Amino acid sequence: MNAKIISKPKRGRGRPKKQAVETLETRELLLRAGMAMLTQTGFMQSSIDPILKSVGVPKGSFYYYFSSKEVFGLAVLARYRRYFEAKLDGFLLDEAFLPLDRLERFALDAQDGMARHDFKRGCLVGNLEQESSLLSEAFQQALKETYQSWQSRVASCLREAEKQTLIAENSQIDRLSQAFWIGWEGAVHRSRLEKSGEALTVFIEFYLGAIRLN
């Protein structure tokens, strides 16, 4: 009778996979903590120490995930851009509402969000823009690309409003979308200063009133 040969089970690769998952999770935690910090303060004068402390990562280990503070800052900006674009799409692509109402709902939601954080948090991109002259060319370019992406979303919403004759035909849509973000960032900064959502209310009412057909 031949002896039954029992093959040894192949050694699993569970541990490396677990380590990869843990690395991704830690990186994401650092990015989220970075977003929270940069919505409240600038980048140049900020320290990574509070971020590391909040997620329990030793300072020496930080450079395993990011080669420098600037690389970290750019990654935070990219992460915030994706987060904010998803938020914009959630409002501006919602066909249950008219296009201009979508803009107003976005503004009201942002106002509520600032109030929940006692107006200590603003727009990460707006905060970085205020110190753009001190940032690298890579940072400045990333900020410009972020604004272009956000403006294109508002422009699409305004074009839909134009098709529905909610705003005048042949409106300068691209300039209107640019004006939206220029005014928006100013209103966010004023709201933080005054610890009130009044500036955001004034801005969105004035903006929509100026472009809406009676």
DSSP string, 127-171: HHHHTGGGS-HHHHHHHHHHHHHHHHHHHHHHHHHHHTTSB-TT-
**Cα 133 to Cα 203: distance, rounded to the nearest angstrom:** 26
Residue 27 placed within a domain: no
Q: What is the pLDDT of residue 15?
A: 44
CA dist., res. 80 & res. 86, Å (int): 10
Task: Please report, for the domain that includes residue 194, its CATH number.
Answer: 1.10.357.10
Are the C-beta atoms of 167 and 158 separated by less than 8 Å?
A: yes
Least confident interval from 55-59, 75-79, 197-201: 55-59
Q: Does residue 100 fall inside a structural domain?
A: yes
In a domain, 40, yes or no: no
Q: How many domains does the chain have?
A: 1
pLDDT digits (tens, 9 = 90+) for 37-71: 999 988 988 888 998 998 888 888 888 999 999 99
On whether the CB atoms of residues 91 and 101 are closer than 8 A, the answer is no
pLDDT at 206 over 80: yes
Q: Which amino acid is residue 195, in one-letter code?
A: K
**pTM of the entire predicted model:** 0.84
7-23: burial string, b at 16+ Cβ within 10 Å, e else: eeeeeeeeeeeeeeeee
What pLDDT shows up at residue 8? 45
Q: How many distinct helices (H) and strands (E) make up the chain?
A: 9, 0
Identify the three-state secondary structure at position 212: strand
Predicted local distance difference test score (pLDDT) of residue 101 = 98
In-domain check, residue 157 = yes
Tell whether 176 is covered by a domain: yes
Cβ 118 vs Cβ 195: under 8 Å:
yes
> Structural domain of residue 123, as residue ranges?
73-211
What pLDDT, in 10s, does the model give residues 139-183? 999 999 999 999 999 999 999 999 999 999 988 999 999 999 999
